[in-house]
Structure 1
Amino acid sequence: MRILFAFLTALLVSGATSMPARAADDQPAAPATPEAPAAPMTKQARLDKLFSDLKRERNEKAAERIAGNIWSEWFQSGSASIDLMMLWSQKAMDNQKFDVALDFLDQVVTLQPTYAEGWNRRATVHFMMKNYGKSMSDIDHTLQLEPRHFGALSGLAQIMALTGHKQSALEAWQKVLAIYPMMRSAQDQVATLSEELAGEGI
């Protein structure tokens, strides 16, 4: 089982010029310089815009593309060595070598504790190993750093459901939908859990 999705990116900007005025002493004025291009958006600004777009989007495929762009931003650690360890951890996970993956991810969260995706990836490994308590601890770290992390919230919802806490699972899926309204799996889970809880008289 995975708490993962897709990836991609884009944005633009321009400037203007004005005619130079003649100086009073009849000397030619210095040519007007074009306005400097706007500074590139910060990672946080890009994420804020993507999340705003994701919340408004009502086309499922378009929403998936936006979510993919968000994952792309999340994966960027800003460190070549961290990126390499994340790559190695993914390869280890793909080969079911979870202990090896954890070794890499322990280093990632130690070296860069503010990198939310390091915590989320380690939460995923613990989830796959059925270490639900440890997974929840890492999910908590992820959400402290990025409260909008719909992947981590999805993982929390799955753990709650697997451990018999249906109401908590429903609430977690509802939080996912508040961030990513078009996520089909979250919609399905909310519908299923709501029916089950209604049938149980809750």
Structure 2
Amino acid sequence: MGNVIKYLNRIVAASLAVVTISLPAWAEDNRLDALFAQLSAAEPAEARRIAAEIELEWSRSGSAAMDLLLRRGEDAIEAGDLAMAIEHLSAAIDHAPDFAEAWHLRSVAFFQQERYGLALHDIEQALAREPRHFNAMFGLGVLMDRLGEPALAREALLRAHAIHPHHKDVSETLERVSRKLGGADL
């Protein structure tokens, strides 16, 4: 009986460790769920604030080193140093393959280099990890439009619009693409 109790104690201790480690991820998922619920019903000014909070959550990998690589990649994109951006973001992806925002930003760098196949792959990876990533969905719409696929572009933009109805770039691009297709404006 003593061995059974020792064994059960180990199981309970291991279970508590797993639950304790999982709580931050669970809390983050719940926070994102709440923010997305608010986003879809928010007025434009409030939607911008909520979207910024969501984007801030997306920029947090759980590792200070990966977050630093993401910031360096983002800074390099803004500076126009796309090769350096891809290097930083690839390092973040190598070490944290579930970091959707790193995939998204690397897709932006690839898109700006006109490496559309690689951009599409990274958008797919970002959306596989965070299907509500309205910026990646917007990027998919822009990419499909660039590739001469306005119907696919419109579909992606409609999905982004459903998630974030007040995303100015999504709305403007959706109107433009819809006009190409002869559809009604939003």
Q: TM-score, normalised by structure 2?
A: 0.81
Q: Which residue of structure 1 lines up, in the alignment, with residue 20 of structure 2?
A: none
SS in 2 for 1:76: coil
Q: Which residue of structure 1 lines up, in the alignment, with residue 106 of structure 2?
A: 122
Q: Which residue of structure 1 lines up, in the alignment, with residue 53 of structure 2?
A: 69
Superposed, 1:158-177 pairs within 5 Å as 158-177=142-161
Give the one of 44, 55, 60 matched to 2:29: 44
* CA distance in 1: counterparts of 2:173 and 2:117, whole angstroms: 22
Give the one of 74, 77, 97 matched to 1:93: 77
> CA 1:91–1:148 in structure 2 vs 1: closer, same or farther (change >3 Å)?
same
More helix by share: 2
SS in 2 for 1:42: helix
Q: CA deviation at 1:99?
A: 1.1
Q: Which residue of structure 1 lines up, in the alignment, with residue 95 of structure 2?
A: 111
Q: CA deviation at 1:87?
A: 2.0
SS in 1 for 2:182: helix
The percent identity for this pair of structures is: 33
* CA distance in 1: counterparts of 2:114 and 2:46, whole angstroms: 33
Q: Which runs of 4+ in 1 moved over 6 A?
A: none
Q: What amino acid does structure 2 have at the position aligned with 1:169? A: A
Q: CA deviation at 1:56?
A: 1.1
Q: What amino acid does structure 1 have at the position aligned with 2:161? A: L
Equivalent residues, number: 160
* CA distance in 2: counterparts of 1:45 and 1:166, whole angstroms: 35
* CA distance in 2: counterparts of 1:187 and 1:84, whole angstroms: 32
Superposed, 1:137-176 pairs within 5 Å as 137-176=121-160
Q: CA deviation at 1:125?
A: 0.7
Q: What amino acid does structure 2 have at the position aligned with 1:74? A: W
* CA distance in 1: counterparts of 2:82 and 2:166, whole angstroms: 32
Unaligned runs of 5+ in 2: 1-22
Structure 1 vs Structure 2 CA RMSD: 1.6
* CA distance in 2: counterparts of 1:195 and 1:94, whole angstroms: 31
Q: CA deviation at 1:194?
A: 2.0
Unaligned runs of 5+ in 1: 1-38
Give the one of 162, 168, 171 matched to 1:187: 171
Bigger shift: 94-103 or 170-179? 94-103
Q: Deviations over 1:22-46 (max 9, x none)?
A: xxxxxxxxxxxxxxxxx98710000
* CA distance in 2: counterparts of 1:52 and 1:169, whole angstroms: 25
Q: Which residue of structure 2 lines up, in the alignment, with residue 14 of structure 1?
A: none
Q: TM-score, normalised by structure 1?
A: 0.75
Higher relative contact order (CA 8 A, sep 6+): 1
Q: Does 1:54 align with 2:39?
A: yes
Q: Deviations over 1:103-145 (max 9, x none)?
A: 1111111100011111111111101111111001000000000
* CA distance in 1: counterparts of 2:170 and 2:105, whole angstroms: 20
Q: Which residue of structure 2 lines up, in the alignment, with residue 33 of structure 1?
A: none
